[in-house]
Each structure stands twice: as C-alpha cells, then as structure tokens.
Structure 1
Amino acid sequence: MAAFSSTGRRFSGAGRASGVGAMLLGLSLLGACTTIENGLQEAAGVEASKAAYLPGPTREPVTFENLQKADPQSSIGRSQHPKILQAYGGAYSDPKLEQTLAGIVGRLSAVTDDPNRVYRITVLNSPNVNAFALPGGYLYVTRGLLALANDSAEVAAVLAHEMAHVTANHGIERQKREEAAEIAGRVVTEVLASDSAGRAALARGRLNLASFSRNQELQADALGIRQTGRAGYDAFAASRFLRAMDSYSHFRTAFQADDPNLDFLASHPAAPQRVELAERHAREFGMNGTGLTDRDRYLNGIDGMLFGDSAVEGYVRNRSFYHPGLGITFDVPAGFVIDNTAEAVLATGPGDTAIRFDGVALPRSSGLVDYIKSGWIGGLDVGSIRELRIAGLDAVSARAAGGEYVFDVTVIRVGDQVYRFLTALPAASDASVGQIAGTVANSFRRLSAEEQASLKPLRIRIVAASSGDTAQSISNRMIGVDRKLEMFQLLNDLKPASTLKVGGRYKIIAE
C-alpha cells in the first residue's frame, strides 16, 4: 500500500522470533520409511512392493534422504524446504496426526505410477487452507486444510493431487516458465518501454503463463483422482473437498471486495469446472459412495489438533486480537473480519475499509512525532499530526492520502516498541476514516497478567451428537469464532437443512 511502506519487522519481544514470519517450531517430518511401511501394511496385496521398500538387515537405514539420492530433482526441494518452513510458521508436530497421514501417503505410494519416487510430508503450522509440492518429493499440507477435511479420502485426494504435480514434473516446468517470463519481461520493458504495445505484450505473457498453470492443475486433478481410486479410497472425495474449499473461501472473503480481473491470473481453474471434471474422472471407479472414506480414523487423528493461530502469532477471538507474549489486545468494529498474517494483522470491513496493525522497535530517545514524519508514510498531511494518550500510553495520529484512498495512521508506544494502526478507506468516505480509526486505536490496551495466563490456543475437538442435538446447539459449544453455526456447517460439510445423526461424530472448535 503506497501510503504505508516500511521495512520494519512486524513484532519483536517476548515469545516472538525476529524477522518475517513466526518462530520456527520443532521440525515434524514423516520420513519415507515410516510413511511407506505404515501405508503398505494397510494396502491389500502389496507384499512384493513392501519388500522392495523395507530394508534388509545389512542395508543402510531407510530414510528420506538416503532414498532421495537417486532423484536428480531433490536438490530443488531440499534448497526450498527451509524457506517454506519460515514462510508458514514452521512444522507442526503431533505424533497421532503424523501416524494418520503416514498411513494415507503409504497407501497412495503403493499404487503410484512412479514406484521409485519417495515422499516426505510436512504438516505446516499455519491456519491457512493450503497444500503444495516441491520437486524431489516434498509434500506440504497446512493444519488449516486438515481441519477442513472430513475423512482420510479427502486428504488422500489432496495429497494424490500434489504427488501428481511431482510425478508430472510440474515444478520443473513452472520454474523454467518463470525464468523465461522474467527474461521476456525485461526485453519487452527495455524495447517497448511504456508503449501500449509493450503493456499488452506483458499482459499476454502473464495470461499464457497462468493458463498453462491451470492446465497443470487439471492434469494433476485427473492423475490424483485415479491414484486415489486405485488406492481404494472414495474417488469422489476430490470433488467433495473442492466444494468445501470453495465454500470456505466465500466464508472468509464475505466482506472483501471482489476483483474480476484476478480470475484471469488465478493459478487454479474456476471451482465449478474443476468439480465437474473431478466427478467425471471419479465415475471410472463406480458410483458416488464407492470406496473407503476412513472417517473415524481421520477424526481420531485430528482430535486435539491446534486450530487457528498459535501463541507466538497471537490469537484472533471473534472481533478481537490478543497477543499473550506481547501483552496487548485490540478490537475491530462489527462487520469486520480479522486475518492474522505472517507480516501483519489485517482486518477488512464494509465499504472497502481495510485496517493493518503491526509493530517495530523504536528507541525511547526517538519521539513519536519525529518518527511519524520520518518518511515511511507517503502522502502525509503534516498539519494533521496530533499527540494523544491511548490507555495511558503515548500516541500520535495523522492523516494521509494516496491514489483513490485516504488513510489514518496511529502509532502507540509501549516501552521500546511502537505499534502502528493504518486505516484505509476510499476517498469518497473521507469523513468516516477518523471515526473508524479512532474506534480501533482507542480499543488498544495492555493485557493484565491474569488475562495473559488465561489465553489458550483453540483446538479441533471431536464430539458425538446426542438425541435432541442440532447443528445450532452443538455449534453453540464453540468458542473463539464468529458466525458459529456457519463455521460448524463448513467444518463438517453440512448443508443448512442437514440434521445430525445420533451418535454421529462432529468437529467443533474449543480450548
């Protein structure tokens, strides 16, 4: 955002790692020996394959690294792996969950078209819903995606899709295309400068690059669904989970403005197209409902899994943000949705309103007025600067303008730390920016020791429905989330009119 550019880090202080992203947690990786051994034990009629993978008494230990030596692509994944961990908050460690995923990956590996390929799966400590792969057999899935899935078949469909990217060398192809596009972009820029023909050429190049990526996604869908079906899982799980992800995406972006231009450069095809094609591929394995879902085992595996943000990132509770390590909290108005990202806490609300919150270190000898005038705010109205007190703390606010937006910037000092609020509204809503910004900034305060001690992470809990239970009654047990009923239905893939089965097991969010 032009009016808010700073290279300062987001947070520093107790419980926070320096630099961008979360404190790296203990690495949790499923080595090839665990994945293959457990999975092959579950797959029927694969004793020969099992013997090929398991070590004899005189062989060197079977590890992902040793088996990977024969893969010429392994250096790419190995070099990028630490960067992935840093970007996604490290690896999430949960032995019960790891065992569940090991069985799924092993079962898929038993029927792969590339039996010499080995895989390492990492659960990323991120609430985002995502999964991807790197060349060399590196698979990644976030705990946010695992929370959304409802059975082993859905996770198998996701992982088989990512394994297909590896098998089809899509990562290598994408790297080559990106390098070629970068060179072409430089040539177009240098030769055609700002000429409209140059801009059109660049746009066509970006569109072709994105279109090819969409074709890769469709190919990975087809290969992954076939592998899922051959492994004995419900082949319709892919289309089922695609719908779930689409519903969750709409749930998360309910208050965000849509930009139709983004659809042209999206890396994935539109959800309806993918669902239709996925169902067509799944019919090769029979009618809907054919195949294993393994729901109970999967729910056992994710029971107790961390949900949402971790303590080192701070917690979002409805319309409030709490950081127990830093000892701070603030609220956003009704109708806003908070997203705690790796770089900042963001909130979006009605009327294209956006709020950003972050923090930087600032020596006590530096004044707040001098800091706000130091050049990190573009379009600053110096005459609007005013000093104030918020929750007994020194603070300074100012107004700025840039493009079609107006901004309110408020900085608050807590010791050697300065916390910054940026509120942005369209210029037509200039009269409202001060009111919204003031409401948010004035809600900022320090947490008491008792409040800090009482804050606990949210987790996925599995509960059984009793006679008389409804989606509404069970969703009321959830804490820390807004729109409880909608979230409960999303987590459990329930329609609004769905009734619960007595004894049925369902996911809720609780401490």
Structure 2
Amino acid sequence: MTLPSHRRHGLKGAGLLLLAVLSGCVLTEPLDTGDGRSFTNNWMKAGDPRAEIGKREHPLVLAKYGGEFRDPKAESLIAGVVGRLVAVSEDKTQLYRITILNSPKVNAFALPGGYLYVTRGLLSLANDSAALAGVIAHEMAHVSSNHAILRSEKESSIKVGSEVVSRVLGNNVAGRVAEAANQLRLSEFSKDQELQADAVGIKMLGSAGFDAHGSVRFLETMQAYQALMSQADRRFGDFSFLSSHPATPQRIEQARRHARAFGAPGTGESGREAYLKSIDGLLYGDSAEEGFVRNNTFSHLGLGVTFSAPPDRRMENQATAVVITGPGNLATRFDAAVLPRGQNLAGYLKSGWVKGLDEASITESTVGGLSAARAEADGANWRFVIRLLQIDRQVYRFITAGPAGSQSVEAESNAIAGSFRRMTDAEKEKLKPLKIRIVTVGAGDTLASLAAQMQGTPSPLRTFQVLNGLSAGEIPQPGSRVKVVTD
C-alpha cells in the first residue's frame, strides 16, 4: 500500500524504459537518426488503433501493479534481449514499450500496440537470459498475432475485496482507480492462442541465438512455483500469470518439441552469468514504499504503524491498500487518507465517501491512546463495519465486509483494527526490505546450509530450490552461482 502523496518518502519508479527498433537497434532514450526522424516518448505508430487501446489501459496496469520499477542493470539486460528478438521477428517495424512493474507478483503480459510488461517478481524467478527471452518472445508473439485484441471482454466475477471498494468508497477518485485496477483482466488468451505464442516465441528465441530450451526451463520453474504457492503463504505471488499461462505437462512437452528443432539443451546461449549479475541486489517481495507483509503482520516504516490479522487469513499488500480475506466471505480493506483541516473523525465519516452510512451508528473513542471512530454501512447484500484511527492528520481506515446478517463482521473488524499501533524504534530498525543476492556455492555447502541463508520466505528450503530451478534433492555444484533472499 502506497503512502498518501504528502507523506511519501522517496519516489517510486519515474518514467518508462522506452524501446524502439531501427535496423536492429534498441533505443532506450530519444535518438536523432540523422535523417530528420527521431524516437521520443511519442513512440507509437501514428494512427495505430491498437496502440491507442494499450495507451488507455496502461495507467490501470500501473495502478494495479504498484507503478514502474527502475533498475539500470535489469533495464539494460531487457533492452539487449528485446533488441535481439526484434531483429529476428516477422515485423521489424513494430515498436515496443517495455515496463518493469514494481510488484512481487510473478506476471508478464502484453497490451495491444506493443506494450509489454514483466514484474520484478518474474525477474527474480527466472535463472538466465534465455528463460527471460522466452517469456518476452511469448508476449511479443501475442502482440504480433493481435491476441490482445481478440481476447475475451467478458468481465470476471468481482471479488469480495473489490466489493469493499465499490460499495463503500462511492465516488472517491482513488476508489474508482482501485476498483478498475482490481477488475482489470490481462492476457486471458485461449489455449490455442497460448500454444501459438509458444511456438512463435520459441522460434524467435532460437533464431536470436538463445538456448531455445530456456522457455522449457521457465515453464518447469513456473510449475514448481505453482506447487510451492499452493502450499505456502502466497504474499510473494499470485496465480494471475499461472491462470493465463498455465504450465501444464502438455504445454511443457510441446515447448520441448519446438525447442529440439534448434538442438539439444545448451545448443544456444543461456546467458546465465550475465543474468544473475543483472539481478544481484534486486528487490524481492514487498517494497518500503508500500510496506511489508511478514507473518500476517503489515508494517510501514514511512508511516511508522503496524497491525496484524489472525493466522488463518490471507493478507495481500496491493498497490492502493492492504486486503485481508477469510474466513468464508469476510474481507477487510486497510488504507490511509489525509484528514481535512478542522474535521474530526465523525465529521469525516459523514463527508460523503461512505455509501449507505448509518449515521446513528457512529461512535467516537480512544484506542491505544489514538483518536478512533466506528460506524456501520449497508450495501446490497453486504454489511460493513468501518473503523478509523488518527495520528496527526493521517486517518487510517479499516473497512470490514461480510454478508448481510453476518455476526462475524464486528468481531473480525475489532480483531484486525484493534491490533493497530505505532511501531517501536526496535521494530523499525529490524524491518528491512528483502533482496536477491547472488552467492557462490562453497565446497562444503549443502542444501541445508544454502537454505539457511534465506530470510523472510515461506518454506526456505523449497523456496531456494524453486528460485534456482533445482529439482528435489539436486545440489548446486561447488563454484556455481545461486540466488538467496536476504535483507
């Protein structure tokens, strides 16, 4: 969850990595070509209706995935990969705008007109340049085949977390953006389209000189990641990529057949060492700007606050809020806003941002030395309990939703909002962002000793194996380089 604008410390990613191709040259900044032409931020093909669609949806992508992530090493690597792929593509005039999204979720997708996206979560999961190139080539194939234009426009079912936004936040601008982002569906292609993109992408991969089996390796890693996430705390990922790009055994075997046309594994360039060097120090998991979720506790250094959810809930740190779901149909949304000058919490509740507010239910109190207020609201078949807490002019909002008539909404609201407090100095000192670190395997290292270096991850041993593309029981060779997660 990001800070309200007047309280942000530092900047999230500013600007985009712009890639265009002219005679096989990848451009990352405006360039004068010497013949009166230049590529600038106005990078789209003139009059291209597909690019207009991508331009319209791009802000929603940023809203959903935490904005842009800037990392010069990763950007340089991606620029080189894209340049090589475009040089062997069928349409060398297609311009691509590549964005690294500041999200721990593992995802990659394309929008019409050449908008391509990879999350830093996906970068942390890949193990070599060929694997990353396979993902990007697959998405480029979706663009060249106009799959994004052809994808279904049918709206997905609205989740309870989205209901909290739409039913309670009313016409609030931030609420509308959050709702649109939550409902945005990306790259939901058919099985045939996925297989077609695999075939085209692997052909591009091998033709560009990469190991064509990089795509197979990444699909296998995704399959292992899916198994890990289905058994563990899923705060470091979701299944949005898996649902639209299922790593099924059939798909993996077909990818392997396409790759064999270029030779055995290792025939082309894997680019493992260059790739690992480019992601050494890459942010892993939640960012300081959005706060950290660790062991079902949310803590924000900039705001200096923390709260917890009961252990059987799922806590997800979204770009605009923290959403806690379960058990059953209960959901709680937490965010922060600025209290208007001269307004108390009761007046703020009545100021129009809550739909269906029962003003008679408003009560004010003190919780843990902080000014607090509580109210109820109704919307369609839902009941809402809203709790506010105030620190200076910052107001912290807990909105808990459940089916109308549910007796659990009040208890759930009290359990979560009641744990809200200021962080201690010791807690602030201890809380640090996690990063990918590349280490060399020593002669005496074992799986246990390597996994012992993992911090803040569910199932450290299995997470270490999945992050490094290792099969069960496989031990990295001494002298090889592997990924660990540390602060």
2:20 is equivalent to residue 32 of structure 1: yes
Give a deviation string over 1:253-311, Cα, whole Å, max 9, x none.
54799xxxx99xx6555734433432332233334454322111100001111222333
| Equivalent residues in 2 for 1:84-483, closer than 5 Å | 84-174=61-151, 178=153, 213-252=190-229, 254=231, 267-268=244-245, 271-348=248-325, 354-363=331-340, 365-368=342-345, 387-397=364-374, 409-423=386-400, 430=407, 437-448=413-424, 452=428, 455-483=431-459
Code of the aligned partner of 1:356:
R
1:26 partner letter: A
- Specify every segment of 5 or more residues in structure 2 that has no aligned partner in the other structure, as ranges: 156-185
CA distance in 1, matches of 2:358, 2:52: 51
Displacement of 1:395:
2.3
1:12 is matched with which residue? 4
Deviation for aligned residue 1:15:
3.7
Residues 107-146 of structure 1, C-alpha deviation per residue, up to 9 Å, x if partnerless?
A: 2122212223233322222222222223333322111111
Seq. identity, % = 48
Within 5 Å, give how 1:72-87 maps onto structure 2: 72=48, 73-78=50-55, 80-87=57-64
Question: Contact conserved, 2:107 with 2:121, CA < 8 A, in 1?
Answer: yes
- Residues 20-78 of structure 1 deviation map (CA, whole Å, 9 limit, x = unaligned): xx965321414336994479xxxxxxxxxxxxxxx998434653668854783544445
Report the RMSD for the aligned CA atoms in angstroms.
Answer: 4.2
The 1:173/1:409 distance shift into structure 2, 3 A limit, reads: same
**CA distances 1:191-246 after superposition (whole Å, capped 9, x unpaired):** xxxxxxxxxxxxxxxxxx99964432222122112111222223232233234334
2:468 is matched by which residue type in structure 1?
N
Looking at structure 2, the residues matched to 399 and 321 of structure 1 have their Cα atoms a distance apart, in angstroms, of: 24
AA paired with 1:32?
A
Which string of whole-angstrom CA distances, capped at 9 and with x for unpartnered residues, describes residues 473-506 of structure 1? 3233233334333332332223342323222222
Larger mean CA deviation between 497-506 and 154-163 belongs to 497-506
Taking the aligned partners of 2:22 and 2:459, their CA distance within structure 1 comes to 40
Aligned residues: 447
Shift of 1:10: 7.8
TM-score by length of 2: 0.76
1:367-412 deviations in whole A, cap 9, x for unaligned?
A: 5456557787778888987654332112244677888877654322
Cα distance in 2 for residues equivalent to 1:507 and 1:57: 41
SS at match of 1:161: helix
For each residue in 1:413-432, what CA deviation from the matched residue of structure 2 results, as whole angstroms up to 9, or x when unmatched?
A: 2233321224456799946x
**Distance in structure 2 (CA, Å) of the matches to 1:434 and 1:365:** 29
Q: Residues 250, 371 of structure 1: CA spacing in aligned structure 2 closer, same or farther, 3 A cutoff? A: farther
- The CA distance in 2 between the partners of 1:57 and 1:367, in whole Å, is 59
Tell me if structure 2 keeps the 8 A contact 1:24–1:85.
no
| Equivalent-residue separation in structure 1 for 2:119 and 2:187 (angstroms) | 24
Partner of 1:192: none
Relative to its length, the structure with more helix (as a share) is 1
Q: 2:464 matched to which residue of 1?
A: 488
Distance in 2 between residues matched to 1:382 and 1:65, nearest whole Å: 49
TM-score (norm 1): 0.73
SS at match of 1:347: strand
Shift in alpha-carbon separation, 1:501–1:382, aligned structure 2, 3 A: farther
CA distance in 1, matches of 2:457, 2:434: 10
Query: For 2:478, which of 498, 502, 508 is the aligned residue?
Result: 502
Is the 2:361–2:375 contact (alpha carbons within 8 Å) kept by the matching residues of 1? yes
Contact 1:316 1:480 in 2 (8 A): no
Structure 1 window deviating more from structure 2 (151-160 vs 479-488): it is 479-488
SS in structure 2 of the partner of residue 285 of structure 1: coil
Are residues 487 and 430 of structure 1, via their aligned partners in 2, closer, same or farther at CA, if it must alter by over 3 Å?
Answer: farther
Check the 8 A contact 2:109/2:187 in 1, yes or no: no
Counterpart AA for 1:29: L
Give the match's secondary structure for 2:333. strand
Q: Is the 8 A contact 1:143 1:306 kept in 2?
A: yes
Aligned to 1:59: 35
- Is the CA contact (8 Å cut-off) linking 1:355 and 1:423 kept in structure 2? yes
Which secondary structure does the structure 2 equivalent of 1:497 belong to?
A: coil
Which letter does structure 2 place at the counterpart of 1:510? T
The DSSP-based 3-state class of the residue aligned with 1:460 is: strand
Specify the code of the residue in structure 1 equivalent to 2:17: L
Deviation at 1:356, TM superposition (A): 2.4
Give the Å deviation of 1:340: 0.9
The answer on whether the counterparts of 2:307 and 2:419 sit within 8 Å (CA) in structure 1 is yes
What's the counterpart of residue 3 of structure 1?
Answer: none
Structure 2 Cα separation of the partners of residues 268 and 472 of structure 1: 32
Could you list the runs of 5+ residues in structure 1 that have no partner in the other structure? Answer: 1-8, 40-54, 183-208
- Cα pair distance change 1:436/1:479, threshold 3 Å: farther
SS across alignment from 2:261: helix
Residues in 2 aligned to 1:254 and 1:231: alpha-carbon distance in whole angstroms: 37
In structure 1, what is the Cα distance between the partners aligned to 2:390 and 2:62? 31
Please state how far the C-alpha of 1:509 moved relative to its aligned partner. Answer: 1.9
CA contact (8 A) 2:370 2:389 kept: yes
Q: Work out which of the two has the higher radius of gyration on C-alpha atoms and give 1 or 2.
A: 1
Q: What is the match of residue 48 of structure 1?
A: none
